[in-house]
């Protein structure tokens, strides 16, 4: 696991003090690779690399890597789990190797296969290969978007910057740091940025399962090399037991690949089936858990993690987090994320990674199981809804009209009749919904109350699976929006903040290819989620763990926001000039007061606005960097 930065020089050419600039950019991401640094520079490009040594701990594994004729230069972040097989294939084709690393397989493979090498890689990766002869760059990202790769030419001279984290751009003097006003309203609804463009104007994240060619500071070609659509038709002749056996075999293989390392490996463990299954298959020396021991017990799953660890004969280390620790760390958390994300689980994940890094350098975790095996409550059908939707659409619309005409207050029944006439495209935007579109619009000031709706964001993804079932559509949307935009961003950034490599065995190419074939009833049915996966887990887990309901990563935000000193901290932020730039502050303050007075639970709304303001202050007020900064309508000092 590593990090890299780079610049394809623009019209200004190689800048004066170019090495100092590159060093400053690399210092920003030293947490991604504290073990060593590497450089490549010529008149066209500058590359910087930070290494966290995992496989082949010798200097032979240092980057940048070169092709045998030194035409190509590569920087790479990630792990290639099938590198040993690829290495043997390439040796048979006449390629020589100077190291035992997985990194070298990529550039030797590029020499042999060109851009087709990406389809052969099984792992998590983001890499850039510079062609010194054609003066062009090839950039690629893994199929799920586990590893980030940002890029921009929003610079004063057309320089093309790229790297593992946006913050590295802040120390390039030609980068234009400017707030992307289009991102705020979608963020308030989704809790993360669901757009292709980041919160920094002109800065983009290469899409998962894509590669692109860059020449003269511009993207010349972008290609999707792998798809994650579920099969329209499945093999109905196969039984549940057949699929269960496939899942067991494939997950065992995936975990075996993911534990390859020359350093110590542990696992994150909660009370859910996903991390429990990974842990039972991995059998590490140590598992790690965090929780909150205040308020009701629903905020603490560490007892469950300890119980399972004991049954498996594994040491469990746990830590409890206080509200004060969470608030004190929030600015640092937002800095490492690069973009605001109000998913409450970001906070405990930061502390969990910090805890694990004291003992190990690599951890395995359970991210991705819900999206590919059908683990969210939204995915479950209900008999009543299925029966109701069999009625003619005209009758359902009449029922809806009558209900609303009588002026009944919003309730579960009104939601039921509304959903009964709406297609899934109009009622599902993913696993998070904080401010509904109109509410987001009502709290924003000009020009941030853009007319972009949540449907505008999701519809391009739905169009790709037009005609498929509702379940297939929801899972496809989550895998392409929610998972890379929220789940995997926080997993990468929170682990790397502590120089910890996080691996996700569920997000393996072969696991996904199997999941695509699962009939819907083996993903989610009337009584359960992850039907086939849970049954597969029975082989190595007690029934209580295999069938425990999903609870997420519970965080007591609603309690904190009713207490001191947290209420006052948020109140003061909502009164600030920064808040009045973006929000109707009186609306936010009223939400905060109503929440404290328990007139409603507005914790997620308040937290989402507060997190954004903490993020903006950190990057646009406190962090000057060496770049050109374009502030919004007011200037904050």
Q: What percent of the chain has pLDDT over 70?
A: 91
- Show Cβ contacts of residue 384 under 8 Å, excluding neighbours closer than 6 positions: 416
If we measure between CA atoms, which residue out of 305, 301, 260 comes closest to residue 279?
A: 305
Mean pLDDT of the chain, nearest integer: 92
pLDDT tens figures, 372-393: 999 999 999 876 665 556 666 6
- Show Cβ contacts of residue 153 under 8 Å, excluding neighbours closer than 6 positions: 10, 159, 160, 161, 202, 217, 218
If we measure between CA atoms, which residue out of 238, 270, 285, 247 comes closest to residue 540?
A: 247
Structure tokens at 535: 């049954």
Helices marked H in 283-376 — which ranges? Answer: 302-312, 323-337, 346-357, 369-373
CATH topology of domain 240-375+476-546: Rossmann fold (3.40.50)
If we measure between CA atoms, which residue out of 46, 52, 59 comes closest to residue 168?
A: 46
366 has pLDDT over 70: yes
Q: Give the up-direction half-sphere exposure of residue 99: CA atoms within 13 A in the CB hemisphere.
A: 23
What pLDDT was estimated at residue 418? Answer: 64
CA of 496: how far to CAs of 33, 37, 55, 282, in Å? 8, 16, 17, 22
Query: Among 202-211, 408-417, 548-557, 579-588, where is mean pLDDT lowest?
Result: 408-417
C-alpha angle 494-53-365 in degrees, rounded to nearest 5: 40
405 has pLDDT over 70: no
The position carrying tokens 């007591």 is 556
What pLDDT was estimated at residue 407? Answer: 58
Is there a catalytic annotation at residue 637?
no
Query: What is residue 322's DSSP assignment?
Result: -
pLDDT tens figures, 183-235: 999 999 999 999 999 999 999 999 999 999 999 999 999 999 999 999 988 88
What pLDDT was estimated at residue 60? Answer: 63
Structure tokens at 481: 């929006």
d(CA 63, CA 49): 7
Among 2, 60, 627, 637, the active-site one is 2
d(CA 247, CA 236): 17
Q: E strand or H helix at 628, and its extent?
A: strand 628-630
State residue 381 phi and psi, 5-degree precision: -75, 165
What pLDDT was estimated at residue 299? Answer: 64
- Show Cβ contacts of residue 291 under 8 Å, excluding neighbours closer than 6 positions: 299, 300, 301, 302, 318, 320, 321, 348
pLDDT tens figures, 103-115: 999 999 999 999 9
d(CA 612, CA 589): 15
463 has pLDDT over 80: yes
Q: What share of the chain is helix, strand, coil (3-state, %, to 5)?
A: 45, 15, 40
290 has pLDDT over 90: yes
d(CA 404, CA 556): 35
If we measure between CA atoms, which residue out of 387, 418, 385, 386 comes closest to residue 400?
A: 418
CA of 149: how far to CAs of 509, 518, 525, in Å? 19, 31, 37
What's the chain's length in residues? Answer: 637
635 has pLDDT over 50: no
d(CA 252, CA 259): 11
pTM of the model: 0.94
Q: How do strand 176-178 and strand 628-630 relate by DSSP bridges?
A: parallel
pLDDT tens figures, 296-339: 565 667 888 899 999 999 999 999 999 999 999 999 999 999 99
Domain 2-224 classification at class level: alpha beta
The arithmetic mean of pLDDT across residues 34-38, rounded, is: 92
Helix axis angle for 488-496 and 346-357, nearest 10°, is 40
Helix axis angle for 273-282 and 240-258, nearest 10°, is 60
Structure tokens at 483: 């998972």
State residue 446 phi and psi, 5-degree precision: -65, 145
Q: Strand, coil or helix: what is 221?
A: strand
d(CA 105, CA 65): 10
Structure tokens at 122: 């099984």
Domain boundaries, the chain: 2-224, 240-375+476-546, 561-630
* Cβ atoms < 10 Å from Cβ of 576: 13
pLDDT tens figures, 416-457: 666 655 789 998 999 999 999 999 999 999 889 888 899 999
d(CA 333, CA 337): 6
What pLDDT was estimated at residue 454? Answer: 95
The residue ranges of DSSP E strands in 132-274, in sequence order, are: 136-141, 150-152, 160-163, 176-178, 203-205, 210-215, 218-224, 265-268
pLDDT tens figures, 90-138: 999 999 998 889 999 999 999 999 999 999 999 999 999 999 999 999 9
What pLDDT was estimated at residue 345? Answer: 95
Helices marked H in 116-260 — which ranges? Answer: 184-190, 240-258
C-beta separation of 319 from 355 below 8 A: yes
pLDDT tens figures, 504-521: 999 999 999 999 999 999
C-beta separation of 172 from 627 below 8 A: yes
558 has pLDDT over 70: yes
- Would you say the CATH fold of 240-375+476-546 matches that of 2-224? no
pLDDT tens figures, 11-28: 998 888 899 999 999 999
The arithmetic mean of pLDDT across residues 39-67, rounded, is: 86
Write the DSSP string, 584-603. Answer: -HHHHHHHHHHHHTTSS--H
């Amino acid at each position: 696991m590593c990090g890299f930065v780079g610049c394809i020089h623009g019209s200004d050419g190689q800048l004066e003090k170019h090495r100092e600039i590159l060093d400053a950019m690399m210092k920003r991401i030293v947490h991604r690779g504290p073990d060593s640094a590497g450089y490549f520079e010529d008149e066209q490009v500058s590359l910087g690399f930070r290494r966290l040594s995992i496989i082949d701990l010798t200097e032979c594994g240092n980057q940048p890597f070169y092709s045998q004729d030194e035409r190509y230069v590569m920087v790479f972040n990630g792990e290639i789990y099938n590198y040993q097989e690829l290495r043997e294939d390439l040796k048979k084709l006449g390629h020589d190797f100077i190291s035992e690393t997985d990194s070298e397989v990529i550039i030797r493979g590029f020499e042999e296969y060109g851009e087709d090498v990406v389809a052969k890689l099984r792992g998590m990766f983001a890499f850039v290969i510079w062609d010194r002869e054609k003066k062009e760059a090839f950039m690629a990202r893994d199929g799920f978007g586990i590893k980030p790769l940002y890029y921009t030419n929003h610079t004063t001279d057309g320089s093309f910057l790229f790297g593992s984290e946006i913050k590295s751009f802040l120390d390039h003097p030609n980068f234009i740091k400017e707030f992307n006003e289009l991102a705020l309203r979608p963020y308030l609804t989704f809790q993360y940025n669901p757009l292709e463009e980041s919160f920094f104007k002109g800065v983009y994240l290469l899409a998962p399962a894509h590669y692109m060619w860059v020449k003269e500071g511009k993207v010349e070609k972008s290609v999707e090399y792998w798809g994650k659509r579920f099969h329209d038709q499945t093999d109905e002749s196969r039984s549940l037991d057949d699929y269960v056996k496939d899942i067991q075999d494939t997950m065992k293989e995936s975990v075996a690949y993911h534990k390859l390392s020359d350093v110590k490996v542990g696992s994150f463990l909660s009370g859910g089936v996903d991390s429990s299954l990974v842990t039972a298959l991995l059998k590490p020396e140590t598992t790690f858990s965090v929780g909150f021991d205040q308020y009701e017990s629903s905020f603490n799953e560490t007892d469950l993690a300890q119980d399972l660890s004991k049954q498996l004969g594994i040491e469990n280390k746990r830590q409890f987090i206080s509200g004060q620790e969470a608030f004190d760390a929030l600015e640092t958390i937002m800095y490492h994320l690069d973009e605001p994300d109000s998913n409450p689980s970001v906070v405990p994940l930061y502390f969990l990674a910090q805890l694990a890094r004291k003992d190990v350098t690599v951890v395995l975790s359970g991210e991705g199981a819900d999206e590919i095996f059908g683990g969210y409550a939204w995915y479950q059908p209900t008999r009543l809804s299925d029966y109701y939707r069999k009625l003619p659409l005209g009758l359902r619309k009449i029922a809806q009209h009558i209900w609303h005409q009588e002026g009944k207050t919003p309730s579960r029944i009104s939601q039921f009749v509304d959903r009964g006439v709406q297609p899934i495209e109009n009622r599902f935007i993913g696993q998070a919904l904080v401010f509904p579109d109109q509410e987001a619009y009502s709290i924003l000031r000009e020009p941030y109350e853009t007319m972009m709706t949540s449907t505008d964001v999701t519809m391009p993804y739905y169009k790709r699976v037009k005609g498929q079932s509702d379940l297939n559509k929801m899972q496809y949307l989550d895998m392409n929006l929610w998972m890379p935009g929220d789940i995997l961003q926080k997993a990468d950034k929170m682990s790397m903040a502590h120089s910890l490599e996080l691996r996700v065995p569920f997000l393996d190419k072969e696991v996904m290819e199997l999941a695509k074939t699962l009939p819907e009833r083996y993903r989610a049915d009337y009584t359960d989620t992850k039907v086939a996966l849970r049954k597969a887990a029975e082989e190595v887990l007690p029934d209580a763990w295999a069938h425990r309901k999903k609870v997420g990563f519970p965080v007591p935000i609603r309690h904190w926001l009713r207490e001191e000193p947290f209420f006052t901290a948020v109140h003061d932020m909502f009164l600030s000039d920064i808040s009045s730039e973006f929000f109707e502050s009186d609306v936010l303050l009223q939400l905060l007061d109503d929440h404290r007075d328990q007139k409603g639970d507005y914790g997620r709304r308040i937290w989402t606005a507060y997190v954004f303001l903490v993020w903006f202050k950190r990057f646009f007020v406190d962090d000057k960097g060496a770049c050109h900064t374009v502030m919004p309508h007011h200037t904050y000092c």
